[in-house]
A and B are shown apart, each in its own frame.
Chain A
Amino acid sequence: MKQMFLTAAVLACATVAKAEVVAPGDVQFGEYGAIEASLSGVPGNADSGLEIMVTRGKGNCIACHAVSALEDYPFHGEVGPSLDGVGARWSEAELRGLVANAKMTFDGTVMPAFYQTTGFNRPGNAFTGKAAEGELDPLLTAQEIEDVVAYLMTLNEY
């Protein structure tokens, strides 16, 4: 019974999400790189966002950023600034823009764009070293971006 309920709930979510998803090419960035509207139309889940942040095959954000709240997950990199306090430093819309495509906020930054599918030089098929076939998927889905943003909003202490 519980199982059935969960499946139904997931399906319902998926349907809603599908209806509201903004495709990578349709994202509206503000003048300074912020994205006002949710990319999925479904509120982000901070717990899932945390998992994405620390998982290699997903956001792998801690490869470049230290986060005190994620101390239990090794190893933290130093390529980007510490993310402590980003929830206080930036608005939700600004954080959404930063995760989707940080180059719209910081021109030329080394931070990869997590919601972009075109405009790359020699795009590969994931980490195989071979050429990509067909259209690229964004590094994170619309909902995964929303989840990461929800987690970042919890980082409001220095």
Chain B
Amino acid sequence: VFAIASAAQADEEADLVVNGEIEITVRTSAPEHVDGLRDIYSGWVFRSDETQAMQMDDFDNPGMIFVEEAIEAFNTVEGSEGNSCASCHDTPENLAGARATHPKWNDNAEEIRTLGMQINGCRTEQMGAEPWAADKGDMLAMEALLASVSRGMPVNVQIDGPAEAAYELGRELYYTRTGQLDLSCASCHEQNYGNYIRADHLSQGQINGFPTYRLKNAKLNGVQSRFRGCVRDTRAETYAVNSPEFIALELYVASRGNGLSVEGPSVRN
């Protein structure tokens, strides 16, 4: 009866191949450590046909404009050491796989680093350059470039060893209800994915597609800013971007998608 009142329907059975060549795993069995899910799905699966199509060809993907910008930044010398990213990493393709494994433990810094933290680590420690603001233009563009060269590779975030403490904290936060609406990530993205909440078709809240180009705000969006939006919607006080809590939550949520392909920059509504 309510199909009429619902937003554009998605083809949940569709497969994603980018540019006719990069095969993207958008559904697969859940990793063993995720008790609440049998299968995992990319957020792409739940989007409308039109939004899905925009991600199938780089010419139609508005996120790719930022990838172009970042290629230039990659080759631009900045900071006191006379280095560009290319001085050490040669080409962006050399960093294929980095998106798939972050957040991850960095031995030298002795901390869990998100991809953005690692980029800033290289900027400040290796280049003597100013760090970029988290989840903003330059940083999201560079993250989009690094994601694009990892497209098709399986997300494979480590959860044991030095990552275990962050994993445990992130897991606890995922299942903790917050705010006056008293909802956890799991209330919406584990118990109710596939259901509509008002006009929104709920996905599993996976982050294999980040950064995402959202049609709603016509720009690239970062993982933790997305978390902030969702926590705010429970009428809760949110955590800050790059707080220990959100770094841990990012690691945990990434690990729930182990086995899906990296597909950023993705297109979402």
Query: Which residues of B line the A interface, CB within 8 A?
Result: 1-2, 4-7, 176-183, 187-188, 191-192, 195-199, 228, 231-238
Report the count of interface residues on A (CB-CB < 8 A).
31
Residues of A with C-beta under 8 A to B178: 120-122
B197 near A126 (CB under 8 angstroms)? no
A71 to chain B, nearest CB (A): 7
A78 near B196 (CB under 8 angstroms)? yes
Residues of A with C-beta under 8 A to B183: 110, 112
Instruction: Specify the main secondary structure of chain A where it touches its partner.
Output: loop
Residues of B with C-beta under 8 A to A126: 235
Query: Which residues of A line the B interface, CB within 8 A?
Result: 60, 62-64, 66, 68, 71, 74-79, 110, 112-113, 120-132, 136, 139
A124 near B238 (CB under 8 angstroms)? yes
Known A77-B196, A122-B178; 17 more pairs at CB < 8 Å? A63-B197, A71-B2, A71-B4, A75-B5, A75-B7, A78-B197, A79-B197, A110-B191, A110-B192, A121-B182, A122-B179, A124-B232, A127-B235, A129-B237, A129-B238, A130-B237, A136-B180
Given contacts A75-B5, A75-B7, A129-B238, whether A112 and B197 have CB atoms under 8 Å apart is: no
In the bound complex, CA of A75 to CA of B67 (Å): 36
B12 to chain A, nearest CB (A): 14
B5 to chain A, nearest CB (A): 5
In the bound complex, CA of A121 to CA of B191 (Å): 20
A123 near B197 (CB under 8 angstroms)? no
Closest A residue to B234 using CB positions = A124
Residues of A with C-beta under 8 A to B188: 110
A62 to chain B, nearest CB (A): 7
Q: 18 A-B residue contacts at CB 8 Å?
A: A64-B197, A74-B5, A74-B199, A75-B5, A75-B7, A78-B2, A79-B192, A79-B195, A79-B196, A110-B191, A120-B236, A121-B177, A121-B179, A122-B178, A125-B237, A127-B232, A129-B237, A132-B237
Given contacts A75-B199, A110-B191, whether A129 and B182 have CB atoms under 8 Å apart is: no
Most buried by A among B5, B195, B234: B5
B183 to chain A, nearest CB (A): 6
B180 near A112 (CB under 8 angstroms)? yes
B166 to chain A, nearest CB (A): 20
In the bound complex, CA of A136 to CA of B236 (Å): 12
Instruction: Specify the main secondary structure of chain B where it touches its partner.
Output: loop
Closest A residue to B1 using CB positions = A68
B237 near A77 (CB under 8 angstroms)? no
Most buried by A among B191, B192, B228: B192
A66 near B197 (CB under 8 angstroms)? no
Residues of B with C-beta under 8 A to A79: 192, 195-197
Most buried by A among B180, B182, B191: B180
B182 near A76 (CB under 8 angstroms)? no
